[in-house]
Amino acid sequence: MRTFRDMPIKQKLTVIIMSVTAAALVLTGLGIVISDSLLFRATMRRDISALAQIVADNSTAALAFDDPRAATETLASLKARPHLTAACIYLLNGAMFASYLRPGESGGCPAATQDQLRFTSSGLLIHRPVDLNGRRIGTLVMLYDLGEISEHIRLYAQAVLFVLLVSSAMAFLLSSRLRAIIAEPIAQLAQATTAVSETRDYSIRAQKLSDDELGKLADDFNEMLARIQSQDDELRKALLAQAAALQQTQEVRDSLRTTLASIGDAVMSTDAEGRVVFVNPVALKLLGMAEADVIGKHLDQVFHIVNEFSRAEVESPVTKVLREGRIVDLANHTILITQDGTEIPIADSGAPIRSQNGSVQGTVLVFRDVTARRRAEQTSVLLATVVESSDDAIFSKDLNGIVTSWNRGAERIFGFSADEIIGRSILAIFPDGQTEELADILECTRRGERIEHRETVRRTKAGELLNVSVTISPMQDPLGRIMGASAVSRDITDQVRAAERLARLNADLQRSNESLALNNQDLERFAFIASHDLQEPLRMITAYSQLLIGSYPGQFDKDATMFVGTIVEGTRRMRELLTDLLAYTEIRAGNEELAEVVDLNLVLDDVRQNLKAAIDESGAIVTNDILPKLRAYRGHFQPLFQNLIGNAIKYRGERPPRIHVSVQEEDGKLRFAVSDNGMGIEPSYHKQIFEVFKRLHGKKIPGTGVGLAICQRIVERYGGRIWVESQPEQGATFLFTLPNVAVHTAGEN
């Protein structure tokens, strides 16, 4: 510094001027380099953005027609820009449609994200939409490296360095005043550039200090800033407008998708080629397919329809819409065949989707399952047929009693045709004086009450009164409001008259039964008295006949002795007959107070003892199963088994009798069987033998002909029945049943 102070003023001024000039020139050069760098970057952004827009516009047709080759050729034209490293076109679903990589470039295309234009470490990254008629159909992504900026900076630095050297030489010659005039505008311009770079505020302007080149530079710089500001404002507005349009489009699309997904009809949409681009859940359910299996396929591949009756293929409505460009409805009786072969009757229609210029760019198909409607129609037809074919009168009326429908059964019963009665009051079939009944019926209808099987009287067109059974039900409209009533009237005149006749017959029968009961009582009383009172005279006849023979021995010849024997035998048989007759009359209803637990095994032992003489004489063998204990009257079962076993011994064949008593439970009844190996019975006499006094062998075999009648009366006394199964010379089996409702097992055997 001392040496500098000691220099001459000229040198010092020169050093100062040169130092100042050098510093000013260096600062000016730096400012110029920085400004140019910024300007170049901005220019490059604008240039690359415009290039991206041009490429996006040129790719629209390729995307719209699904032509990856054309798109690739469009991208290949970018090889004229050596600093463009990669360019790719993506579909809306993120799939790559076409791409371009700079020769020798190993990296891939950047992924498609939101629309943007920004510098990254790899270079300038641009995302631009590919639109068709305002609708986005893809995304263009470009990557531009920063090599061009470096080259430009180097070139510009060399130029600035040359200018600095020249300026330094000139500054050495010029005075400090000229240096100041030049340095100040440059400093002002550098400051403006720095401010713009730091704040991104393009409203900043450089101050113009002169009209020379620096002033012009300031004007150009300010003009450039104005253009950048204008473009930035327009870009911001365009981005805002685009974002708003995209938002609105997305909202409309979401709203439409939600609406189509929530409606009850099946909806499918196709592009202009007939490929499915949208399908709602109802359509997927009817088709029996997943969305991934439908989207992108031609409609004919997933929507197969045939005629219900001819089974012929039906042309797809979408094909017809694309061909004719108008709304098309399917003919009736169309069947949709689903993926699993299920057949569903459907009704559908197709309509074109037109662009703003009126061209068809797709179709929409709406169809629905009409199975329920078909069934409802069939049910309605069936119900109408049933109503019309019913023999009952079925009609309806409103809340004022005006007839609204009238079937053929009503025409037949009441005589009014439908044309005569519809629109008239139902009072036409009411007898005089029954208006209150109609008022009561209408009031019940208004309250929603049902009237079932009310028996009343109605009048025919001819004035004849009929007994009818009426059922009346309220009818409601779709909103649930009662609008009238339906009535079913059945003609029960014949039933009522038959019931009256039956009541008269029942009364007559009751009187007859009472008279018959009195007669039976008198008859039984007479039989009991007669059989009891006749015993004494018979005993006297027998006794005096025997006394006559014994008192006068030898005084009677053989004929007299035979006559007396005949009298004694006749009186004996008469006593037996009266005894059996008395037993027969004693078996009647009642005597429940005498019921006891009866062991049939003991009863059978008593029967064997009573018949011991006949058993020993005939050599009979009587066997039995283990018989049950019954709650019954013992005095009934001893004569029952004794008559059956005694008859088996009496009507034996040449062999010694073999008699077996068995029992088994069958259909809730006890079935007894008394089997023998006797002479058997002709089938023609199987019923006659149970009649009183009916005998098959006359006097050859002793008997009264009352025994089996007694057996039948005993069995019928307990609610059972008795019969015989036999053939001549093959023995006989007498069977009888005792229902458990009358006879109960009293304990284990």
In eight-state DSSP terms, residue 59 is: T
Residue 114 has which token pair?
A: 């939101």
Q: Is residue 580 part of a domain?
A: no
**What confidence score (pLDDT) does residue 553 get?**
67
d(CA 638, CA 641): 6
Residues 341 and 401 placed together within one structural domain of the fold: no
Q: Which residues contact 51 (CB under 8 A, 6 or more apart)?
A: 78, 81, 142
Do residues 316 and 354 share a domain? yes
335 with 299, same domain: the answer is yes
144 and 14 together in one domain: yes
Measured at the CA of 15, the angle between CA 12 and CA 21, to 5 degrees, comes to 135
* Domain final residue, candidates 151, 174, 197: 174
Query: CB neighbours of 554 closer than 8 A, spacing ≥ 6?
Result: none
Is 517 a domain residue? no
Q: Single out the residue in 122, 142, 174 at which a domain terminates.
A: 174
665 occurs within a structural domain: yes
- If we measure between CA atoms, which residue out of 607, 589, 610 comes closest to residue 599? 607
Write the CATH number for 392: 3.30.450.20
Tens of pLDDT along 610-625? 888 888 888 999 999 9
* 673 part of a folded domain: yes
- Read off φ and ψ for residue 390, nearest 5 degrees: -70, 140
Task: Examine the domain organization and report whether 22 and 133 are in the same domain.
Answer: yes
Domain shared by 691 and 714, yes or no = yes
Given 157, 174, 191, the domain boundary residue is 174
- 74 shares a domain with 41: yes
CATH of the domain at 612: 3.30.565.10
> For position 624, what pLDDT does the model report?
93
Residue 266: the pLDDT is 86
Q: Are residues 317 and 435 in the same domain?
A: no
Sequence-distant contacts of 69-78: CB under 8 A, at least 24 apart: 71/97, 71/98, 72/98, 72/99, 72/100, 74/98, 75/99, 75/100, 76/100, 78/51, 78/142
Residues of the chain with pLDDT under 50: 9-10, 589-593, 698, 741-742, 744-749
Look at residue 244 and tell me if it is in a domain.
no
pTM, whole model, 2 decimals? 0.32
Together in a domain, 432 and 293: no
Residue 578 located in a structural domain = no
Same domain, residue pair 726 and 625: yes
User: Based on the structure, what is the number of domains in the chain?
Assistant: 4
> Domain of 649?
593-739
d(CA 44, CA 55): 16
Give the whole-angstrom CA distance, residue 304 versus residue 297: 13
**In this structure, are 679 and 719 located in the same domain?**
yes
pLDDT digits 0-9 by tens, 197-212: 788 777 777 777 777 7
